[in-house]
């Protein structure tokens, strides 16, 4: 499988703060990768490094290109949506499409117009007069109408309601994703993207704690809910995390044979959010 993104010992410091610490990973084509971490973990720094917005130590190759020195060439194949509205406020929607068409050789105006018909955005309106949700929709339409190989989403639904967030990710899946393309989406609301991710990267204090496929995570981690009287027994399995839920004890266990503990209680697949919290050092 082709590697779209390769990071090798990537390090980035802001003053004394290490934002990325020796990050090494490969992301192949056809993946939807969730970049998950608490605020200040280094998610945005990683995405900015991938899109050539910042300098860094180490090596990065996105589609075989160095994003810092070949950003213009890379952007021909990469779409980016940020966590804040970044479209020029003074432009009208049709002017933005004109501009995008003139600037981007892989942009299809007709496709963009078609995508906009699914929204309530009028092409004559000024961008500054659109709501935040509309601005995100407009930006998404621009990106979906651009034939890019990688879509990088940096908390794209930040500050938007749940209905819009669902619609957003549905559009990304239906109108963009195929086996040749990859999506990297950073978020700290993991539960809303959990269903669409193929892989997940947990990042904390600039370091990658875990990079695994969701399928493997489901195999690797188990959640066992037992009555209080079996708590001590489960603790002998060295759980990653332990918590209480309506009078019962909940354990998150790694590499567990479910049959071994089934007699004590209910064994389920944990949510990504639970694994994330456990790995971050909180309780599951």
Partner 1 sequence: MKQFFALLRREFLEWRTVFFVVTGLYLLLLILLAYGSYKVSNEIEQHSFSLQRNGQEVIIQFDNEGENPFTDDREESARITLTDQPSQILEVWGHVVRGLMVGVNFLIVLLAIFYLADAVYKERSDTSTFYYRSLPVSDTMVLGSKLVFGTVGILLLSFVLSTLLVLFVHLIVPGRANAILLASGLSLSQFQYGDLIGDWAAFHLLQLLWLSPFALYFLLVSTLVKNRPLLTAVGVLILLALIWKYLFSPLGIPNQITLNFGVFGDVLDREWLEAPRQINSTSEIELFGSFWPYVFTWRTLIALGVSGVFGWMTHWIYRKNIEVS
Name the one range near partner 1 by CB under 8 A: 21-29, 34-42, 103-111, 261-269.
Answer: 103-111
Answer yes or no: are the C-beta atoms of 35 and 42 closer than 8 Å: no
SS3 248: strand
* Interface with partner 1, residue 258, by CB under 8 A: no
Q: Residues 1, 15, 39, 102: which binds partner 1 (CB under 8 A)?
A: 102
Binding mask 6-45 for partner 1 (x = CB under 8 A): ----------------------------------------
Distance CA 88, CA 109 (A): 18
How many CA atoms lie within 13 Å of 272's alpha carbon, on the beta-carbon side?
A: 29
Which residue do the tokens 């019962």 mark? 248
* Interface with partner 1, residue 91, by CB under 8 A: yes
Q: Residues 85, 156, 206, 270: which binds partner 1 (CB under 8 A)?
A: 85
* Interface with partner 1, residue 90, by CB under 8 A: yes
* Interface with partner 1, residue 51, by CB under 8 A: yes
* Interface with partner 1, residue 84, by CB under 8 A: yes
Strand partners, 35: 186, 201
10 burial class (0-12, 13-18, 19+ CB within 10 angstroms)? buried
Q: Residues 11, 13, 104, 248: which binds partner 1 (CB under 8 A)?
A: 104
CB of 263 to partner 1, least distance (A): 55
Sign of CA dihedral 85, 91, 96, 99: negative
The closest alpha carbon to 25, from 45, 7, 50, belongs to 7
Distance CA 50, CA 203 (A): 15
Number of residues that bind partner 1 (CB under 8 A): 30
Q: Residues 94, 99, 211, 237: which binds partner 1 (CB under 8 A)?
A: 99
Binding site for partner 1 (CB under 8 A): 51-55, 71-76, 78-80, 82, 84-91, 95, 99-100, 102-105
């Amino acid at each position: 499988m082709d590697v779209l993104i390769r990071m090798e010992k990537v390090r980035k410091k802001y003053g004394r703060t290490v934002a990325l610490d020796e990050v090494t990973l490969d992301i192949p084509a056809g993946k939807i990768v969730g970049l998950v971490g608490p605020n200040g973990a280094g998610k945005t720094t990683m995405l900015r490094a991938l899109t050539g917005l910042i300098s860094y130590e180490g090596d990065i190759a996105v589609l075989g290109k160095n994003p810092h020195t070949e950003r213009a060439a890379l952007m021909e194949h990469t779409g980016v949506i940020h966590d804040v509205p970044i479209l020029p406020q003074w432009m009208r929607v049709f002017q933005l499409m004109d501009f995008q068409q003139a600037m981007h050789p892989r942009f299809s105006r007709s496709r963009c117009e078609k995508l906009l018909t699914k929204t309530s955005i009028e092409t004559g309106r000024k961008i500054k007069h659109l709501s935040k949700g509309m601005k995100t929709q407009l930006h998404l339409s621009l990106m979906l109408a651009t034939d890019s190989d990688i879509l990088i989403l940096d908390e794209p639904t930040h500050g938007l309601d749940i209905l819009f967030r669902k619609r957003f990710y549905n559009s990304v899946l239906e109108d963009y994703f195929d086996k040749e393309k990859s999506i990297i989406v950073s978020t700290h609301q993991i539960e809303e993207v959990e269903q669409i991710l193929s892989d997940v990267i947990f990042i904390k204090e600039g370091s990658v704690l875990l990079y695994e496929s969701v399928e493997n995570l489901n195999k690797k981690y188990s959640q066992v809910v037992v009555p209080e009287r079996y708590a001590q027994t489960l603790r002998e399995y060295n759980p990653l995390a332990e918590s209480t839920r309506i009078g019962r004890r909940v354990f998150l266990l790694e590499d567990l044979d479910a049959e071994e503990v089934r007699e004590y209680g209910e064994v389920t697949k944990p949510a990504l959010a639970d694994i994330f919290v456990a790995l971050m050092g909180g309780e599951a």
